[in-house]
Amino acid sequence: SNELVLGKGLLSTLGDHHKKQRKMLNPVFSPKHMRQMIPIFHDVGRTLVHAIRSRLSDGPTEIDMATWTGRAALEIMGQAGLGCSFDPLVSDKPDEYVTALKSFTYAIGRSAIPRRIMPYLPTVRFAGIGRMLIKLVPHEGVQLLFQLSEIFWARASAIYKEKKYALERGDAAVSQQVGGGKDIMSILLKANMEASGSDKLDEDELIGQMSTLIMAAVDTTSNALSAILTLLAEHPDVQQKLRAEILEAGADKGLDFDALMGLPYLEAVCRETLRLHAPLAQVFRETQTDVVLPLSKPITGLDGSAIHQILIPKNTSVVAGLLNCNRNKALWGEDAYEWKPERWLAPLPTAVTEARMPGVYSNLMTFLGGGRACIGFKFSQLEMKVLLSLLLANFTFERSDKQIIWNFGGVRYPTVGQLGGNASLPMILRAYPSKE
């Protein structure tokens, strides 16, 4: 189903095909390139601050932060990821792509059951067979997902052609584009042009990476930011302590990579939120072979015997609960369900460090692990820290009187008053320092 929606990107490919793509993409997310991108992050962050400030009255003002974090996350991925601008954050009305993206998480949740049949449909995009069959599925969620995929694919194709043309014209043309040729896709396209025949990615794969980067990075990061802002509003003491740290470091003027990544309390707030409220609550996998799964603790069988491992047959669908793992009281203690950033300022429990968690991030499964771990988790961390540092340096955040419900679709996201619909998080903002 991923291929029908996103094309042949990292989320859709398997085995050696996936390894080939990942080998090409890994260098793009290196610390070296992250450092080059931080000016882009700051530029978008400052534009976000200006956009919000222009909408504040003299006193407290209700602002939908889910909308603004989503728009900022998309613009950062647009400029730093694809070398284009999706949303300059000037108008109250975003363009078609932004609107479609806001509906994507909802569409994923609405089509969860029908999507189980999609892997059995023909998935050759250029032949259009699978897409033709999907048009016949009488299901609102599937049809919405199909319409969104058409928008995503058309925009990604247009961006790809423009970038390819600029590369063919030379470095001067590339430098004139958004991102100045330092964006992820420009670097990837250059590397692909220089790769040997067997390592090259074809055009559909390159376009697929563009849609995949947007889908994998925007909703997850923006909703993680929404969760952090919600928790800071609920814990004003933590909000003030964090604001004091970033202001002392000079965050209102913009911090460089090392300074930003070296703020201990900012790191603690991000880690604790990503532990307790991972944007991705669970992942679905299917075994390609028979697998013997060892258990961390034995379970008792019907006959009373201790079972230390279980056999999972080939082609078995498996649901891995990431939130359950991150909140496991046997590892994190009795306060595992409590939000405590301070836990990261002291040594972690021995049970956590000895658990040999396969996750790529902080003994957590938030960004997965192994060969299919989130390739852009450092990009996401940097983005969250830049935006948080600028937002907290310029505004205070309080809860509104509206009931916020967190939905579990493809990604965990907030809505007002009821389950379903597009993400929304009304909050009460004041300019900082206050002029009242």
pLDDT in tens, 3-61: 666 777 788 788 888 888 888 888 888 888 889 899 999 999 999 999 999 999 888 99
Whether residue 349 is contained in a domain is answered as: no
| Residue, of 435 and 227, whose pLDDT is higher | 227
Would you say residue 427 lies in a domain? yes
pLDDT surpasses 60 at 331? yes
pTM here? 0.87
Identify the pLDDT of residue 195.
85
In a domain, 296, yes or no: no
Q: Is residue 303 part of a domain?
A: no
More confident residue, 218 or 96: 218
Distance of CA 408 to the CA centre of its chain: 15
Task: pLDDT band for 95, please (50, 70, 90 cuts).
Answer: low
Distances (CA, A) of 242 to 207, 230, 432: 40, 14, 14
Please list, in sequence order, all residues whose beta carbon lies within 8 angstroms of the beta carbon of residue 290, skipping any fewer than 6 positions away: 311, 312, 313, 314
Residue 325 maps to a domain: no
| Predicted confidence (pLDDT) at residue 326 exceeds the cutoff of 70 | yes
| Residue for token pair 């602002």 | 63
Cα(139)–Cα(128) distance, integer angstroms: 19
Could you report the per-residue pLDDT of 120-178, keeping only the tens digit for each?
Answer: 444 444 345 555 556 655 566 667 777 777 788 888 888 888 888 887 777 665 656 66
In a domain, 323, yes or no: no
Give the model's pLDDT for residue 348: 94
Q: What is the pLDDT of residue 176?
A: 61
| 16 in any annotated domain | yes
d(CA 401, CA 387): 25
Q: 354 lies in a domain?
A: no
Q: How many domains, the chain?
A: 1
Predicted confidence band of residue 304 (pLDDT cuts 50, 70, 90): very high
**Residue 84 annotated in ligand binding:** no
Q: At 391, which CATH number?
A: 1.10.630.10
Query: Is residue 89 within 8 Å of 72, Cβ to Cβ?
Result: yes
Question: pLDDT tens digit string along 336-379?
Answer: 999 999 999 999 999 999 998 889 999 999 999 988 899 999 99
Q: Between 398 and 12, name the one with better pLDDT.
A: 398
Domain assignment of residue 106, given as a range: 2-280+374-431
